[in-house]
Amino acid sequence: MNLIETLDTYQQEALQAISQAQDAKAVEEVRIRFLGKKKGRLKEIQQELSKASREERPELGRRFNLAKQTVEQALEERKNELGKPEKKTDGIDVTLPGHPFSMGKRHPISQTLSEFKEIAGRLGFDIEDGPEVEDDYHNFVALNIPKDHPARDPLDNFYLAVAQAGHGGPWLLRSQTSTVQIRVMEQTPPPVRIISTGRVYRPDTIDATHSCMFHQMEGLYVDTDVTMSHLKTVLKMIATEYLGDDVAIRFRPSFFPFTEPSVEVDMQWGETWLEVGGAGMVDPNVLKAVGYDPEKVSGFAFGLGMERLCMKRYGIHDIRLLYENDVRFLSQF
Ligand code: DAH
């Protein structure tokens, strides 16, 4: 092997040993082995060099210096590299991007209730609340629903096992928000102008348009000289605010024990008419039940189905979607 080849081999082996050194101590050992002043490999080669001929010397000298520099530099770099603090491989890597949090949203029905409360508020109605567990008196008796009325059928209501416990008769999950009319009038002398939104319960068979729990908005306005045209105007304004200017409204004659006359309320928005609730002029018997004088005051009342209106506005075709809590569905609203 000539000296040039020896130097090549030296350089190769030194660089390999350097790259394999795993700590400062190993680097120092490599330095001694390859560059050591006394017994280092380069020292041996230097001694060989002196035996070379005059002609060979300049080339060999250059190659020698190059190998020396290359090895010295590689040692220096490896030392710096190993001197750096170890990269953390466990625990938290603070340089990784975080997990994005998606913003929560209110349920479409909650949004609908808020919106209706806001609309009614702007029209001058106060917002009231009533209990969801009601007694027979507020759910039926005071609303002029007689003892033998089919609306009281145990198959159409969720009566509670604590039946007869209260002095207002058996308890039940309220089947309508009309109960709030009574509770408010019991507490407040006329005039009253309120709405109330909330859950109502009926043991219906669940399908695309029925659920055993749904939401209503009740409205009540009692004052001197309140008429049916006030009722229609208010409902038209509420419908317009919620659905848009192109909504039409119509009344169809109907019957409710607590209103006389009574109507079904339909709204048209787009192609079809949709029945959205009931309404009418508060029956004198109801006014009497709460101590109002039907000769002095009159009033209108209405009850609207919130799911129906919400579904109409958003084009939801199945009420069950609202209660399955599927985030993929709910996050659209
Ligand atoms: N409470 C009725 C129901 O649940 C709806 C209703 C009809 C409410 C007429 C009213 C009303 O206030 O005047 O079906």
**3-class secondary structure, 11:** helix
Distance (angstroms) between ligand 1 centre and the Cα of 179 equals 10
Helices (H), 123-277: 136-139, 179-187, 228-243
Strand (E) or helix (H) holding 265: strand 259-268
> Ligand 1 centroid vs 13 CA: distance in angstroms?
95
Distance from the alpha carbon of residue 20 to the mean position of ligand 1, in angstroms: 86
CA 165 / ligand 1 centre spacing (Å) = 27
Per-residue pLDDT of the chain (333 residues; tens, 9 = 90+): 688 899 999 999 999 999 999 988 899 999 999 999 888 899 888 888 888 888 888 888 899 999 999 999 999 999 888 877 665 567 778 888 888 888 888 999 999 999 999 999 999 999 999 999 999 999 999 999 998 899 999 999 999 977 566 666 789 999 999 999 999 999 999 999 999 999 999 999 999 999 999 999 999 999 999 999 999 999 999 999 999 999 999 999 999 999 999 999 999 988 889 999 999 999 999 999 999 999 999 999 999 999 999 999 999 999 999 999 999 999 999
Block residue for tokens 């209730």: 113
Ligand 1 pocket mutation pick from 138, 176, 226, 309 by most atoms within 8 angstroms of CB: 176
Q: Are strands 192-201 and 126-127 parallel, antiparallel or unpaired?
A: parallel
Sketch out the chain's domains with CATH numbers: 3-86 (no CATH), 108-330 (3.30.930.10)
User: What spatial distance separates the first Cα and last Cα of the chain, rounded to whole Å?
Assistant: 82
Taking the centre of ligand 1 as the mean of its atom positions, its distance from the CA of residue 178, in whole angstroms, is: 6
Report yes or no: 256 and 278 within 8 Å, Cβ to Cβ.
yes
Give distance in angstroms: CA of 143 to centre of ligand 1. Answer: 10
Ligand 1 — pocket residues by CB below 6 A? 176, 178, 218, 256, 259, 277-280, 301-303
Which 3 state secondary structure label does DSSP give 158? Answer: strand
**Under the phi-then-psi rule, with left for phi > 0, alpha for psi from -120 to 50, and beta for the rest, what region is 169?**
left
Instruction: Specify the residue for token string 């890597």.
Output: 93
Q: In what order do the strands lie in the sheet with 298-305?
A: 126-127, 192-201, 213-223, 298-305, 273-282, 259-268, 248-256
Of the candidates 196, 38, 206, the one whose C-alpha atom is nearest the C-alpha of residue 121 is 196
Q: Which residue, judged by its Cα, is nearest atom 13 of ligand 1?
A: 279
Q: Is the pTM of this model over 0.85?
A: no
Alpha-helix residue ranges (DSSP H) falling in 50-146: 57-83, 108-122, 136-139
Ligand 1 atom closest to the CA of 175, numbered from 1? 4
Q: Whose CA is nearest to atom 12 of ligand 1?
A: 302
Position in ligand 1 atom list of the atom nearest CA 216: 4
The pairing of beta strand 158-159 with beta strand 126-127: unpaired
Q: What span, in angstroms and rounded, lies between the C-alpha atoms of 198 and 262?
A: 22
| Rg of the chain over all Cα atoms, to the nearest angstrom | 44
- Give the C-alpha separation, 52 to 135, whole Å: 117
Closest-lying ligand 1 atom to the alpha carbon of residue 300: 13
CA 127–ligand 1 middle distance (angstroms): 17
